[in-house]
Structures are given as structure tokens and as C-alpha cells.
Amino acid sequence: MRVIIVKDYKEMSRRAAEVVANRIGKKPDLVLGLATGSTPVGMYSELIRMHKEEGLDFSKVRSFNLDEYCGLSSDHPQSYHYFMHDKLFNHINIRPENIYIPIGDVENANISCQWYEKKIKEEGGIDLQILGIGRDGHIGFNEPGSSLGSRTRIKTLTKETIEDNARFFKKREEVPLYGITMGLGTISEARECLLLASGTNKTEAIQKSIEGPVSAEITASLLQLHPRAIIIIDEEASQNLRQKDYYRYTEKMAEKLERK
């Protein structure tokens, strides 16, 4: 695991966008796994800037989103479909037919989940998966107790997640109770994972994910088993890390090696 500690949200967003741009540079038809929530919004803004000012080209990129609420149609302003178009897709040159987001309002959700898994495989698997983290340590909607080998499926959201996400809705009662999410097995198969976190409300989840035991209770801890996981966090989110000095030192040493 590579842990990169940066000053603040702005720098986290910039560094994350650089990773994405670098991977698209190396593989223009990159299969990019995407997340919603407030965390990646700054990175999406930076990617839009890179597209407009530096010609970052998304024309061959294919994208798969991690999750979607069940019961919200794709044009609902709080759906992740709407969010992704508003925050990223409408402002870059990704082709609509290359965008995949789980469909939350289908009658037979199980068929939709299986279709999503099949589609990821058909497109060659995810090259780079972007992840945020919930206060309870979740990634995607993989709440505590999720099987570490799980696939795309419906999950019941925890009270904590519902409360956290209520800020996007007019009333708490409007937050859907279920989500459709890539599983932890699905996420683990991504060739590379990039997890972002900012702010003091993520401090505990970050410490447990990076330095605690790998456990279904903190599903982000699964990244400890991933051969290529990068974690970019700001000062606030890194506050409780016991090995903080060592992570900084390794980053400095890695930069030195890169310069050689």
C-alpha cells in the first residue's frame, strides 16, 4: 500500500487527478472505476480543467461506477447517474455508450447485478478504481459485515450511511434504504485502486483501514491485500496514523528513486 499524505483537500484532489491523467496517458482506453460522494468532486473538477486546458482525452475511456441508490430513477437529482453527469461526464469528451452505472430502479435487480459483472469482464476488467470511504469504513456501499468476496448486489444501508447522505436530500426520510454496489470481490479485481479521504470525520476509518486488521467490519481494510493500492489523504484524515512519519519518509525516498 502506498500512503500519500498531503496538506489539504485541494492537494489531494490535484494529486489524484494526476494519477488518473497519467494512467489515461499510458492507456487511452483505460477502464476507470468511479465513485460519487463529496470526496472525489475536487478531483473531477481538476480532470475537467485538464481536459479543457491540457487536452486530456476521455474519448476512448470506459467508466464503471461503484454504486447507485435503489429506487431512484437515473434523472432523479440525487441519483448517482445525475451526480456523475453533473460533476464530470457533461464536461469531458467521454462517449455516453462508454459510461456504465448500476441501474437502481430495475424490477429485477439481481439480473441487473449479474449484467454489470459480465459487462466489467467484457470490457477487460477495471484498470483503476477510485474509492472514497465512509465513516464506518465502507467502500462502495459495502457496509460492515459485507463478504470480502462479494460481487455486485443489493445492500441494506446502515443508519450511519443514511445519516451521512441525508445532507444531499431535502429530508432524511427521502434517503433510499438500499443501494446496488460492486462487491468487495469485484473491487479487489481492479488492477489498481486509488482511495481518497479528507477531513477529521474520516480519521478513525482511515487509521483502522490502513493499520487495523483486515476485516469485514471495516471493508476498506481489504486494500491491505491489494497489490497496487494508493491512498491519498490529507493531514486531517491522517491524524491518527501510527506510522505517519514512516509513510512520509517512504514517499520522499520513492520520489528520490523516481528522479534517478
**Site for ligand F6R, rule CB under 6 A:** 35-39, 66-67, 132-134, 138-140
Minimum distance from CB of 64 to ligand F6R (Å)? 11
Using the minimum distance from each CB to ligand F6R, give the nearer residue, 57 or 178: 178
Minimum distance from CB of 165 to ligand F6R (Å)? 7
Using the minimum distance from each CB to ligand F6R, give the nearer residue, 51 or 138: 138
The C-alpha cell that represents 164 in the structure block: 451521512
Catalytic residue chosen out of the listed positions 51, 138, 164, 226: 138
Q: Is 138 a catalytic residue?
A: yes
Minimum distance from CB of 39 to ligand F6R (Å)? 3
- 95 near 2, Cβ under 8 Å? no
Minimum distance from CB of 197 to ligand F6R (Å)? 8
- Using Cβ positions, the residue closest to ligand F6R within the complex turns out to be 132
DSSP string for residues in 17-69: HHHHHHHHHH-TT-EEEE--SSTTHHHHHHHHHHHHHH----TT-EEEESEEE
Question: Any alpha helices (H) in the chain, and if so which ranges?
Answer: 9-26, 41-54, 80-87, 109-122, 159-165, 184-188, 203-211, 235-238, 244-259
Q: Is 51 a catalytic residue?
A: no
H or E element that contains 141: none
Using the minimum distance from each CB to ligand F6R, give the nearer residue, 28 or 238: 238
Q: Is 143 a catalytic residue?
A: yes
Using the minimum distance from each CB to ligand F6R, give the nearer residue, 60 or 178: 178
Catalytic residue chosen out of the listed positions 46, 68, 127, 143: 143
Minimum distance from CB of 249 to ligand F6R (Å)? 28
- 3 near 211, Cβ under 8 Å? no
Task: Report the Cα 21 to chain-centroid distance in Å.
Answer: 16
Quote the CA–CA distance of 120 and 31 in Å, as a whole number: 9
Minimum distance from CB of 90 to ligand F6R (Å)? 18
Neighbour count for residue 143 (Cβ, 10 Å): 22
Using the minimum distance from each CB to ligand F6R, give the nearer residue, 37 or 176: 37
Catalytic residue chosen out of the listed positions 46, 51, 67, 127: 67
Q: Is 117 a catalytic residue?
A: no
Indicate if the alpha-carbon torsion angle 123, 184, 132, 111 is positive or negative: positive
Catalytic residue chosen out of the listed positions 68, 136, 164, 234: 136
Angle CA 74–79–82, to nearest 5: 65
Using the minimum distance from each CB to ligand F6R, give the nearer residue, 67 or 234: 67
Neighbour count for residue 53 (Cβ, 10 Å): 8
List active site positions.
Answer: 67, 136, 138, 143
